[in-house]
Amino acid sequence: MTKVSIDPVTRIEGHLKIETEIEDGIVKDARSTGNLFRGIELILRGRDPRDAQVIAQRICGVCPQSHGVAAALCLDSAFGLGDKIPDNARLMRNLIQGTHVVQDHILHFYHLAALDYVDVTAVAAYQGKDPELNSVKVFLERGELGPFAPRYEGDYRLPVEVNQEATAHYLKAFEIRRTGHEAVAIFSGKIPHSVGIVPGGVTDTPTVDKITKFLWKVKKLQEFVNNVYLPDVLAIASVYSDYLEIGAGCKNLLSYGAYDLEGDDPDLTRRKRLFKQGTVSADLKYHPLAISSITEVVKYSWYEDSSTGRHPSQGETKPAPGKEGAYSWVKAPRYDGEVYEVGPLARLLVTYVAGDPVVRQLVDWALAELKAPVSALFSVMGRHLARALCAKILADNLEKWLLELKPGEPTYTEYEIPDEATGMGLTEGSRGALGHWIEIKDKKIYNYQAVVPTTWNASPRDDNGVPGPIEQALIGTKVRDKDNPFELVRIVRSFDPCLACSIH
Ligand code: FE2
Ligand code: NI
């Protein structure tokens, strides 16, 4: 038995350690450890409920808009505003969150994951005129390889020209992400933490000038997703097609659904949304979601055992550093007692099996390009493809939502803070199902609980000893070279973990 430990896992957000036990080249056991406690749920206690909107966004600097939306929906429901949010505000929240998420998917693919497959050193042989590639070449000649090295070696398969072109796209992606940030800031005031989304609606108003500026930037994002991002993912997936068979994991997928369409049902579990709410398992059947079946367990997490097995509305965060047998600061969310993966793959497949015609056509087209069945999406490349397809679906809808805005109509509803109330906010962050729960007493936050996408995916074992989604995806993997375990990091990065979020 050989132990292979990766600590920290780089090119992800935050502090993640992966430990594996390998026998005859196969991963027999895996543990995923979140290493940094933060305590934002505890900071929120006793404060004005409106503070949750501002402070909960600080859970993450990568995906704050999604926390902003989750917190706003949570406070809307606590304040009795679920059916009173003006249509302009619904659309502007969609635009702020959606544009940020498209930018975030581009960030993940190019700046975090692609370097597992793209060999930047191929630029050393570049003979063309692209000034940016030539400046990369100069760095390579000087031996200044950061941030591209050190890295695991031994499995770079793309032809030299494809590596060079993909490196040019790596650089171009920075520019496009800036354009995405600029668009988000038009309605959200600033980046990363939005001041535009508030309970009751949004703070800004749409004008023809702002809509035009936003539209022009969205067109650039859309063009990049369609002509660069999606083709690059398909090209890499076809060369690394064995990664359509690696890292399947638990094959249970869960989505809260996101991006409210028309309608204002105060019950967040019944809203009409662009990405649908539900679960899907290996048999590719759709099941509606019962929010009451969600629990967080902590037997293997550094929290007091008395808080295990609670629904998030009754959840507790009682740190117990050094607790015997525990190995992570991440709690273990479970649905109906079972392990579920969340993320772009989940929201795409849930929407697919729910029968959305646009999503069905898009997914079937992409899989035909790869000559792969739907079940191949349960894999490393499946997750990358799902992320790119989710980016495309969103980018296509951003334009639509912009044109539905009505200048001159309201974007905000007045409210009073209730003495006592409970609230729930459910959305999909870039990395998956995101839920916030609040309990208000004496007009103050009595309890605030967040169950975040990477809390699901990077969770340790549950009270029954069943490993979490990333752990399950690693177990059974063949590792060719224990000194260069690129299979392991490729699997972990396909989940796009955000550890700051997962522990919060
Ligand atoms: Fe939490
Ligand atoms: Ni995050």
Ligand 2 center–CA 64 separation, angstroms: 7
- Judge whether residue 263 has pLDDT over 80: no
294-327 confidence digits (pLDDT tens):
999 999 999 999 999 999 999 999 999 999 999 9
Average pLDDT, the chain: 96
- In the prediction, which pLDDT does 70 show? 98
Ligand 1 center–CA 400 separation, angstroms: 34
pTM for the structure as a whole: 0.97
Ligand 2 center–CA 299 separation, angstroms: 24
Query: Which has the closest alpha carbon to 248: 437, 475, 460?
Result: 475
Ligand 2 center–CA 60 separation, angstroms: 5
Query: Which has the closest alpha carbon to 217: 258, 189, 176, 256?
Result: 176
328-340 confidence digits (pLDDT tens):
999 999 999 999 9
Ligand 2 center–CA 454 separation, angstroms: 8
Give residue 267's pLDDT band: very low, low, confident or very high (50, 70, 90). Answer: confident
- Judge whether residue 406 has pLDDT over 80: yes
Rounded to whole angstroms, the Cα distance separating 295 from 306 reads: 14
Of all ligands present, the nearest one to the C-alpha of 453 is 2
Tell me which H or E stretch contains 4. Answer: strand 2-6
Ligand 1 center–CA 315 separation, angstroms: 8
Rounded to whole angstroms, the Cα distance separating 490 from 496 reads: 10
Measured CA angle at 275 (ends 270, 278), to 5 deg: 55
State both tokens at 259.
């991006």
Ligand 1 center–CA 503 separation, angstroms: 7
Calculate helix-pair angle for 380-404, 344-353, nearest 10 degrees: 70
- In the prediction, which pLDDT does 394 show? 98
CB-based contact 137:123 (threshold 8 Å):
yes
Domains and their CATH numbers in the chain:
2-502 (1.10.645.10)
